Amino acid sequence: MGHMWKTIFAIAFFFGKGIANECEPYRVDDVVIACVCNSTYCDGPSDDEPKVPKEGSSFWYVTNKNGLRMHKSEVNFGSCDGSPADATITVDSSKQYQTILGFGGGFTDSFGIDLSKLSPAAQEQLIRAYYDPKKGSGYTLGRIPCASTDFSTRFYTYDDVVNDTSLKHFALAEDDYKYKMPYARKALELNKETLFFSAAWTPPAWMKTNNKISGKGYLKKEHYQTYANYLVKFMDEYKKHGIDMWAISTGNEPLNAFAFNLPLISMGWTPKMMADWIANYLGPTLSSSAHNKTMVLAFDDNRHVLPWFVEPTLENRASSKYVVGTAVHWYQDFLAPAYLLDRTHNEFPDKIIIMTEASIIDPVWNTSKVKDESWSRGEKYILSIIEYMNHWAVGWVDWNLALDVSGGPTWQKDYLDSAIVINADEDVFYKQPMYYAIHHISRFVGRGSARISVTGDTSAVESTAFLTPSGEVVVVLYNKDTVPKHVILNDLQNGPLCFELSPLSMNTLKYK
């Protein structure tokens, strides 16, 4: 494994300060695995790139297994008579569905720890790669855990003094000040539209029925109000440091409490318990606090129990009035067909659905698996995003924004892959195909965009489409076949486009 730094420095010098164009490839046996970024250089659009193509044409961006990364070209609308067609796709911007909230990732302790080991200039490059609306992915969402997760270096809560019901001893951890707040504020500085939301993995153990941080434990009834106060205190402290929470969830993955012998930090809810706590404790406490605009995200777990799990909350006006929608994770999507999202939307059309956590176990960086698996993991990401968008999700949020080459640190030793991998020893980071999978949508589909109708053959080409607030049409296509696919895209307002998708390729078309 290796890469040539002479090329990087030559390109950085030529373009001057800031981000230039081309990917500096990280190769394994001549296969492009990732793009390398350092303190002075990272691939991205040029400063003078036009926002929209000329009339009668579309910008076309391609990332593929063969090594292209956001390769830009133009294709013209016109007659496709006689053109071969492996797939015909019809786009109709007059048929609109959900409004998009955004895309983002998690500001975990582990991300902050790894990022802090880079030079300040490289740190800036990495956060810019995600949150800069012009040079990066245009992220507008950030998930900030309340206290520790498995992606911390130790377990902690903000008040481990047993039976401190007045929360006299409540205090944030050093990790908040060193590893979460500074980088969240930097993201907000880069993109003022960034909305933050939070989730706790567990309350202090003394508030739970099993007095443990994991296992089958619920919130003790006598601490329903204590825990609501605890979460508001957390938001109070973040607000003092310039970070407001758009939403807070009912807690990360409550179903883990019901899994036999699962050591992950968790607290269980039953559907009725969750509805009661929101209606009578969390909701009123938020409403009477400085966070009276902060909404509740219900559930925050895998979708296989939807809509059943959220029905008691969303059918009850006393609880639903505080809830903006349902948060779901992707980990058991193979067991849970996407029509469960449709059912949830159809039952509660005034509530959003947002995918709040995705990641892939078994990091492969610096292993023999990276050559074969790096692309397939990017494929999983883009297919998931397309599926969620086509089934009413308003956003898609990755887990750790970045991790080190080992997939950590993690005190529970459940190492994960990440869209960006940090190599602090060389002061560089690597943008994997997973990064570009999200980038292909998040960079072009801003808040307020509407999903629009796209129909056609999806046997080899998966697709989704949007209309932006400025009137641009964005069509995202993935060719999941190992051979090229000739596509005719028929836009009912603009006419046909004819083009060939390269094998195993992510494609974004943008036109007006």
Distance CA 311, CA 28 (A): 49
Q: Nearest 5 degrees, angle CA 212-CA 216-CA 217?
A: 55
Q: Classify residue 462 by its DSSP letter.
A: E
Task: State the average pLDDT over residues 211-227.
Answer: 96
Cis peptide before 409 (omega within 30 of 0): yes
* Catalytic-role residue among 357, 373, 462, 472: 357
Distance CA 454, CA 89 (A): 7
Non-local CB neighbours of 442 within 8 Å, separated by 6+ positions: 102, 103, 137, 138, 139
> What pLDDT band is residue 455 in, cutting at 50, 70 and 90?
very high
Report how far apart, in Å, the C-alpha atoms of 448 and of each of 61, 87, 130, 220, 364 are: 22, 29, 19, 40, 36
What are the tens digits of pLDDT across the range 101-143?
999 999 999 999 999 999 999 999 999 999 999 999 999 999 9
Q: Classify residue 229 by its DSSP letter.
A: H
Average pLDDT, the chain: 94
| Local structure of 312: helix, strand or coil | helix
Checking if the pLDDT of 239 tops 70, the result is: yes
> What pLDDT band is residue 498 in, cutting at 50, 70 and 90?
very high
193 is catalytic: no
Q: In what order do the strands lie in the sheet with 473-479?
A: 71-76, 57-64, 505-511, 473-479, 461-467, 450-456, 87-99, 485-491, 495-501
* Catalytic-role residue among 253, 373, 387, 472: 253
- Where do we find the tokens 């009477």? 288
What domains, with CATH codes, occur in the chain? 57-98+453-511 (2.60.40.1180), 103-446 (3.20.20.80)
357 is catalytic: yes
What are the tens digits of pLDDT across the range 240-295?
999 999 999 999 999 999 987 788 999 999 999 999 999 999 999 999 999 999 99
Task: Specify the higher pLDDT residue, 462 or 460.
Answer: 462
Q: What is the pLDDT of residue 50?
A: 82
Name the β-bridge partners of 31.
28
What are the tens digits of pLDDT across the range 479-496?
999 999 999 999 999 999
Question: By the 8 A CB rule, do 162 and 177 touch?
Answer: no
- The residue type found at 511 is Y
Q: What is the pLDDT of residue 458?
A: 75
Q: What is the pLDDT of residue 159?
A: 98
Q: What is the pLDDT of residue 337?
A: 97
Q: Which of 410, 310, 308 is nearest to 361 (CA)?
A: 410
Tell me the percentage of the chain whose pLDDT exceeds 70: 96
State the DSSP string of 105-154. Answer: EE--HHHHHHHHTS-HHHHHHHHHHHH-TTTS----EEEEEES--SSSSS
Task: State the average pLDDT over residues 228-243.
Answer: 98
What are the tens digits of pLDDT across the range 8-63?
333 333 333 333 479 999 999 999 999 999 999 999 998 888 888 999 999 999 99
> What pLDDT band is residue 404 in, cutting at 50, 70 and 90?
very high
The neighbour count for residue 290, using CB atoms within 10 Å, is 12
Question: By the 8 A CB rule, do 312 and 342 touch?
Answer: no
Can you give the length of the chain in residues? Answer: 512
Checking if the pLDDT of 327 tops 60, the result is: yes
Q: Classify residue 414 by its DSSP letter.
A: -
Q: What is the pLDDT of residue 49?
A: 83
